[in-house]
Structure 1
Amino acid sequence: MAANDSFSGEAYLLMKEYFYTTARYILFAVTLLSDSYLLFITDVLLILTHFSITIQVWICLIIFTAVLLYLTVTPVTLAAMTLERYVAICMPLRHGQLCSTQNTVNIILLIHAISSVPGILILSAFFVSASLSFYRQYQFCSVEIFMLYIWQHNLRSGIYQVQFLIMVIIIVFSYIKIMKVAKAASGEDKQSSRKGLRTVALHGFQLLLCLIQLWCPFIEVAILQIDVGLFEIARYLNFLLFYLAPRCLSPLIYGLRDEVYFQALKYYASFGLLKRNI
């Protein structure tokens, strides 16, 4: 059978290897794993809170050590994916070298190192403020129990605002540079540049959703001072609108825009019945 007549298993294996060796697919997988972990943990914590189940603070501390890390991994990865598109379009001759598999692995390690900074600072402020007896108390597990003083809330807000400002600068810088290339390009290069612009714009929208997620706790605390029932409603709405929906829809939209990923998704969704040559 000719290679272009069917979507053979051998070709499909090669396509899978392409996913594992291409920078943007590796980084995309990082966002999927990060979002999946956060969705799982937040679902569990929401169930515990709904049934009024409390746990000891030291157990909650272990859980939120990872949560604070992966809460930031996705937006930082979005910034890295934006830079990858910038290199691919503005420096195509160096893209293969700068975005090699080994460099991508190093970038993932750097992403996790950068993402750990807010958690380290927030938890360090908690460690110097909490007594040893507090760790043995039973509390509803949420990040608010680590905020014992107003200055800790302000510290958390300041850390995240500075971090997201840096990522916004990266995305705006990449968008402007790609736009200049798109204006000067022609033919297929122009089409590729425009697609890159749409991708960067999507990253900016995803980053905005991540920023709104960080504002949710401050909104909830303000509503809690007004009415407890309204606070519970606001918390559920924030979870559905700004935690659950973006982390489900944004990766799917991004993936469906990619032709190779879309063909692979069709293959899996049809259990291999819809075979196409990529």
Structure 2
Amino acid sequence: MLYANQSQTNITVGLQYQELLGTVMFAILTSVPCCVFLSINGTMLFTLRSKPVFRETSRYILLYNLLFADTVHLVQSQLMYILAVCRLRLIYPVCGFLIMLTNLTNEISPLTLVVMSLERYVAVCYPLRHATIITIRNTGLAIMMVWGFNSLNIITRVLLGSNVPFENSENLQMEDFCGKDSMLIDPISDHYDKVFTCFLFVSAGVAVISSYIGVIIAARSASTDKASAHKARNTLLLHLVQLGLSLSSALHNPLLVVVSKVVDRIMSVRIQIVLYVCIIILPRCLSSFIYGIRDQTIRPVLVYHLCFQWRRSPLL
């Protein structure tokens, strides 16, 4: 009997050690590429502020706003991931604040992509009026409207979530790691969240697709610059792909719920980490690669700063 209990204890300890080792390994595999991508995004942000041509051109200002929101979202996601790996439980108000910030930066990207698509549409379809419509002032106002609209949405969610009966809980300590599904979310707030997410991405998709169709129609006109129209069409296609990748982040939590009901805990954690890398990390890092490689103005400056950073690295 004693031998059986000891064997059972050894098996339990072995499984716990295997789970811990697997979690640590996957945490390292996700943290390393996240740090690399953050370094690249940071270099890209510095590049976009290093020369007057980037600071005084509307599309580069919009790109900076997109990269800034993606970088902040990546930092917040990695912070919450580390808290979950370390099994640190927060109190509900702190977790709610982190989730609201994550939602804010997550929804900046699709709206910024809409503004960037409209800018390309005006550049191709109304080239003579582009300089008067797409000004630095108007670009700044558009960015302020994007952040203001999303801030208003966050305030609405907070007001709807104020009906959650926290006072009925014994304390504000969370029983699980910080995450949207672990929060005490009011049903009305949950419905509003789903409706707003659908409305946001459907509207953004319609705007980008409409801009793409408008550029295609304008490209058939004899007075349109064919090279400029072709480049704008490819850029709008990339915007559509980026929008789809941003939408995939909204499917992250529902996928986790489905996975947790199908497989065991260890496999569920591993699948969760893979989904985190593919759905959260990678989409937030593609903008630097896409624009850094495609744009003839950004590419040499970005390569210079990356090479300078690589040479100055203390690890070399």
Range of TM-score over shorter length: 0.7 to 0.9
Q: What corresponds to 2:192 in structure 1?
A: 155
Q: Deviation per CA, 1:140-199, whole angstroms, max 9, x where unpaired? A: 111223353555444322210111100011011100110011122478x10110000000
Alignment of 1:123-272 (within 5 A): 123-132=158-167, 134=169, 136-138=172-174, 139-146=176-183, 148=185, 152-185=189-222, 189-226=225-262, 227-271=264-308
Q: What corresponds to 1:102 in structure 2?
A: 137
Q: Residue 231 of structure 1: SS of its match in structure 2?
A: helix
**What TM-score does the superposition give when structure 1 sets the normalisation length?**
0.85
Query: Are residues 147 and 210 of structure 1, via their aligned partners in 2, closer, same or farther at CA, if it must alter by over 3 Å?
Result: farther
Gaps of 5+ in 2: 1-46, 310-316
Alignment of 1:73-92 (within 5 A): 73-92=108-127
Separation (CA, whole Å) in 1 of partners of 2:191 and 2:277: 26
Superposed CA RMSD: 2.4
Gaps of 5+ in 1: 1-11, 273-278
Q: Residue 128 of structure 1: SS of its match in structure 2?
A: coil
Choose which of 20, 31, 54 in structure 2 pairs with 1:19: 54
Q: Residue 198 of structure 1: SS of its match in structure 2?
A: helix
Q: What corresponds to 1:7 in structure 2?
A: none
Q: What corresponds to 1:30 in structure 2?
A: 65
- Largest Rg, 1 or 2: 2
Separation (CA, whole Å) in 1 of partners of 2:153 and 2:254: 17
The number of aligned residues is 260
Identical counterparts, % of pairs = 27
Checking the alignment, whether the CA contact within 8 Å between 1:77 and 1:111 is kept in structure 2 is yes
Q: Deviation per CA, 1:59-102, whole angstroms, max 9, x where unpaired? A: 11222222111110011101110001011111112211221111
Query: Are residues 15 and 140 of structure 1, via their aligned partners in 2, closer, same or farther at CA, if it must alter by over 3 Å?
Result: closer
Checking the alignment, whether the CA contact within 8 Å between 2:111 and 2:146 is kept in structure 1 is yes
**What TM-score does the superposition give when structure 2 sets the normalisation length?**
0.76
Q: Residue 151 of structure 2: SS of its match in structure 1?
A: helix
Q: Residue 59 of structure 2: SS of its match in structure 1?
A: helix
Separation (CA, whole Å) in 2 of partners of 1:96 and 1:133: 58
User: What's the CA shift for 1:30?
Assistant: 0.7
